[in-house]
Amino acid sequence: MKEQEKIFPKKSAPEKSARMVETIYGCKWSLTIYQLLANDINRPGAMVRSVEGLTTKVLNECLRKNTKFGILERVDFNEVPPRVEYRVTRFGTKFLRILDELEKLQNEIECDIA
């Protein structure tokens, strides 16, 4: 008789969380957008003017993804001409803290290698 092998389930991030992080990092502009928001640049037109190479189409796609995941919220003002701003949600604040911790970890790794 063959001995039964024990198979342990592979530990991985919950699929929804892993997909969210993968999608956010897949958009190379997300981190730049977070920096803009931290510097009170929260209107799409101002964002495009502030970052060389960022197009309106790509910005809108990136903002849409971040809004879908609940990291950012879109605020529409009932004005003429229309005005839209984006801001970080409470969940987004927690998410950005995690990104800050990842950056600290990366810095530690780089210091250990050097």
Residue 1 lies in a domain: no
Q: Supply the range of the domain harboring residue 49.
A: 16-113
Per-residue pLDDT tens digits for 59-80: 999 999 999 999 999 999 999 9
Query: Residue 47 above 90 pLDDT?
Result: yes
Q: Which residues lie below 8 Å from residue 34, measured CB to CB, with a gap of 6+? A: 88, 96, 99
Global pTM value: 0.76
Residue 7 lies in a domain: no
Residue 89 lies in a domain: yes
Please tell me the distance from the alpha carbon of residue 62 to that of residue 107, in angstroms, as a whole number.
26
The structural domain count of the chain equals: 1
The enclosing domain of 80 has a CATH number of 1.10.10.10
